[in-house]
Amino acid sequence: MDELISRICAATGISEDMARQAIGIILNFLDKNGPSDEMHAILDAVPGAREMMDNKGGGGGGLFGGLSGMIPGMGAMGALNELTAAGLGMDEIKTVGRQLLGFAREKAGDEPVDEVIAQIPGLSQVL
């Protein structure tokens, strides 16, 4: 996971703590909204991924983050809200997401990552 964090910090200029928080938020979102078999394959293949999910920063995630668990289709808005509340801009969010998915491809292969992207509406436009 240190390799991914280094890549993200180099690509975005954000701190390691912010990179860790962003990874955790995105992984939690993908795990909650993506197909479970493929997410299990990704989480098993990416060293430290589950720990990042457990240790993500933030709290309630603001209004949209709190609502995202209750209203279908609000997951992406909740994750974006959490990421922006953590201090990331849209370009940084896209870069973190692309770096994370690229790293997941290296570790788990294209198939599970492509399936997760295909199963979450609008994800391919954001990342």
Location of structure tokens 């370009």: 91
CB 108 within 8 A of CB 45: yes
DSSP 82-123: HHHHTT--HHHHHHHHHHHHHHHHHHH-HHHHHHHHHHSTTH
pLDDT score of 68: 41
* % of the chain beyond a pLDDT of 70: 84
Distance CA(85)–CA(3), nearest Å, equals 25
Minimum mean pLDDT among 44-48, 49-53, 61-65: which range? 61-65
The backbone torsions φ and ψ at residue 59, rounded to the nearest 5 degrees and listed phi first, read: -150, -110
Tell me if residue 73 falls in helix, strand or coil.
coil
Residue 76 vs residue 65, higher pLDDT: 76
pTM: 0.84
